[in-house]
Amino acid sequence: MDRLDNTIRPYAWGSPTALPDLLGVAPTGEPQAEMWMGAHPGAPSRTPRGTLVEVIEAAPERELGPRTVEKFGPRLPFLLKILAAGAPLSLQVHPDLAQAREGYADEERRGVPLDAPHRNYKDANHKPELICALTEFDGLCGFRAPAAAADLLAALDVDSLAPYVDLLRARPEEAALREVLTAILTADPDEMAHTVTAAAAACDRLGGDQAPYAAIAHHYPGDPGVLAAMLLNHVRLQPGEALFLGAGIPHAYLSGLGVEIMANSDNVLRCGLTPKHVDVPELLRVVRFEPGDPGVLRPEAAPDGEEVYATPIDEFRLSRHVLPEGAAPHDLTLPTPQILLCTAGTVHAGDHTLTPGDSVFVPAYEKAQVTGPGTLFRATVVV
């Protein structure tokens, strides 16, 4: 197995302290948003044998295993991250596989440059993802019931919100959510900024359930995404709890430290809380206007002590091992590629000693024995 040397992405929304605290290093004073572990071409992990992209390209079946190559092609189909949100990320959705293929092909036909700011589809893949909290973690996930959203908006007592409240109470659920989100995103920008400012002031005054939206508005004053966020479920994960975010589910991470895993794609359609391009027609084509519970996941215990975060897709499988001190070595050998990430304590993986933030890549069929005491996240695929 290979120890990974990983890139930390300094996105503006990143926390300046959360990742350094986990890694036991001094903060730089700059935001540190994401540590990437995998073979994403934008920032592949480095190994003693070269980048993980180079290692896999040199011998795909040896590194990934024949079943993984047969199912996903000669590439690692997932990207593992540690995500440290110090400010809200953009409100966004991801396409399903058919939508991604169609959208990518269409933009290729029209000659839209891959780096164009208005480009929606960077590749032809979908991007389901899972976030598992390492600290208390706040986010938004999926639509709340329209009646509950109407109550939340009505409590602000802002006259310009009354038409949205009426729509949410009068129309069938999916139609109500579609019409209100469309109205928010297509309203006159100056009028919307005034409404958002008034709504934010009311959220700040009321506190309670409204407090998260006041905090969002502090980071994105006047942004219509503040009102769009109020249509969504606010979720506070405790350490060890997770959210699965499938295609078409609007979501945003607000604050906290977590382990994130996703299919290896860059396809994002934004709804707000960002200065970046918002393609409203394409967004409305992709969003699933289905209210419901956000579905907080807790790990399911397997007989060997593995705790699995069950999801309905095959590009990734995330699990956790809490390894006690003095226990016999635990065998994690699989016929699929793995990334092992330590998040607490000290874990011995083969010849490697891992402390929080350290990770290794384990090729398919490579012997992988681990001991603690520590907590280890394991990322692999389903074949």
Residue 173, classified by CB atoms within 10 Å of its CB into exposed (0-12), middle (13-18) or buried (19+), is middle
For 47, other C-beta atoms within 10 Å of its C-beta total 17
Q: And the tokens for 364? A: 């398919």
Q: What is the mean pLDDT of residues 180-191?
A: 95
110 is catalytic: no
As a whole number of angstroms, the distance between CA 156 and CA 158 comes to 6
Residue 41, classified by CB atoms within 10 Å of its CB into exposed (0-12), middle (13-18) or buried (19+), is exposed
Per-residue confidence at 326, pLDDT binned at 50, 70, 90? confident
Sorted by sequence, the CB contacts under 8 Å of residue 33 that are 6+ apart come out as: 8, 9, 10, 11, 12, 13, 14, 15, 83, 84, 85, 86
Judge whether residue 143 has pLDDT over 90. yes
Please name the amino acid found at residue 27. P
| Angle, vertex CA 213, rays to CA 185 and CA 243, nearest 5 | 90
pTM score, whole prediction: 0.95
Q: What is the mean pLDDT of residues 7-27?
A: 96
Going by the DSSP 8-state scheme, the letter that residue 289 receives in this structure is -
- Nearest one of 240, 220, 239, 238 to 230, comparing CA atoms: 220
pLDDT tens readout for residues 60-117:
999 999 999 999 999 999 999 999 999 999 999 999 999 999 999 999 999 999 999 9
Alpha helices for 73-155 (secondary structure H): 97-109, 146-154
pLDDT tens readout for residues 28-44:
999 999 999 999 999 99
pLDDT tens readout for residues 103-119:
999 999 999 999 999 99
Per-residue confidence at 166, pLDDT binned at 50, 70, 90? very high
pLDDT tens readout for residues 217-230:
999 999 999 999 99
Which of 270, 317, 320, 378 is flagged as catalytic?
A: 270
Per-residue confidence at 303, pLDDT binned at 50, 70, 90? confident
Determine the pLDDT at residue 308: 97
